[in-house]
Structure 1
Amino acid sequence: MTSTCAARRTRDQFRADVLAGLSRPQKRLPSKYFYDAAGSQLFDRITELPEYYPTRTELAVMREHAAAMAARCGPRCLLVELGAGSLVKVRLLLDELVAPAGYVPVDVSGEHLRGAARELAADYPGLGVHPVVADFTRPFELPPVPAARRVVYFPGSTIGNFDPAEADDLLGRVARLVGPGGGLLLGIDLRKDTAVLEPAYNDARGVTAAFNRNLLVRINRELGADFDPAAFRHRAFYNHERSRIEMHLVSAAEQRVQMGGATFVFRAGESIHTENSYKYAPAEFAQRAAACGLRADATWTDANGFFAVMHLTAVP
């Protein structure tokens, strides 16, 4: 009964967010809803595309510096991964951690998370793996695992998907979650030439376009809307003024979409803003984190300066 009630609350929140977003002058949908089972699988494919540099670059940084990162985390830490996905990068860190107290992957896509967690637990039989199905942008409870220190691992530059005020709110909540002296190990996508940035979100095979449109497929399936996903074009571009990639679904023609008792009218060329991906400079991000109670202790980057992993400590 409890899981049924939780699922109903989750769907009610999904419906409320979609209705509110589509009612705005600039229609918008929260990017966190990309990640149903199909969306998670599509994103896994995106990370393997030749145009998509962030994942392979972050993995290279992790492979080179995982031992130093683990030393910053310290022995007997409880590692909490936000937006855990397929649990690929964390293995590089787990291989170097000294006697970790446990691992808590947190993700909104329950089916995908539980499957990945089972695989990881089988590969690390001495590690307590405690998957938590939750929206990490909202308060959630950690399992009561005794540990010397809590460390949140937030890879993949997902922090860039949050608008600045939202990012500040999340950083503040992470600082409170880990407590004074706790840590945050964070991936950040850095500013770079648009010749590198824009193809990463406009791949030649159309996987990112399918990922973007899958959000409409999910809304149809779970909320009873009647979107025609094929009637929307994928568009992604770099907004220089705001230092972010913007991803949109653009209506190819004038059309109406029904959802429940609501009707939404789209002009030809009108878009739904589905995602932002902010790009930072390390010093700029360290300043932002400091205002949220997190002190930057170490930064590791690749030779091209495309991507950074930062370790931050929560201060009293």
Structure 2
Amino acid sequence: MSRLKIITEKKSKPYMSLSPKKVANNKTLRRKRIWWAYLFILPQLLFFLVFTIYPIVMSYVYSVFDWPGIGPLDDFAGLENYTRVLKDPSFWNAFKNTFIYMAGVTLLLLPTSLLLAIALNNVLKKSSVFYRTIFFLPVVTTTAIVGIVMRKVFSSTGVLNEFLMAIGLIDEPHNWLGSPTSAMIILIVIGAWKFFGMMMVYWLAGLQTLPKDVLEAASMDGCNLWQKLRHVIVPILLPVAMVILLLCVSSSLHVFDLVLTLTGGGPYYSTDVVDLYIFRFAFNPDSGLPSMGYASAAGVVFGLAVFAVILLLGWLIRRTKQS
């Protein structure tokens, strides 16, 4: 008998010796493990269904009714709410401002957080924990509190005006939030600062996976920091960058509490965003009863636009990974 046949027989004997009772016990054990897994998933699944799926489904239902938010759904409006939303210039103004805010925050946040992550990963290693803590503090600070504090800072009697007048840069107080241009710039800068620490941590996680031999080879070839960043670090971290881009875009498209507490959508609706627009019609109408149906229609339209943007970014991420 050949050696291969002997080894095969020895290996197959334990499996051949299993009794039907043991096989049944193994199957029962596997079923129990599967049920335990489903049991652990169940709470999160219930939260997802109740607080995500159910509101999305009901927003589509409410959007075809002229409903104030209380009482029965008996006034069917069809597509009238959608027609009003698409014809409303205020909605498209809020839509435009939302995407301007998203683009500004993304373009400001991605490169600056990458550069600081590189500095913490290479130059400031000894004090990296301290700087990470400092820059991550705005992330865990309530956005509404940030907006209230920054409103005081940029007001006519705020700290910024007092400081600029003290050093002689301005002669009289300036209403920074009273100009449409400066109000949007301030909103973008504060929004980027709020999420700066989170994106920096993501970049740091990606930088720590870089192969050291590649960086050492680049140094031996005489590459400076800019050449390393352009030809080595960014190409290797491109898949990570696309994920960070997706997170940055999806988070900055939904800005409500910062706008509400900082500018209130002003001046002259120059910082009005879709979330605030929906809030005004759903809970704080200028006159008359709330219009939950109309607000739901606006939410559906904006949600579909955001979904299209996320799909586009997902397609870019897949293309990047494939290449």
Q: Please say whether Structure 1 and Structure 2 have the same fold, judged by a TM-score greater than 0.5.
A: no
Q: Is the radius of gyration larger for structure 1 or structure 2?
A: 2
- TM-score w.r.t. the length of structure 1 is 0.27
- TM-score w.r.t. the length of structure 2 is 0.27
Q: Which has the higher helix share?
A: 2
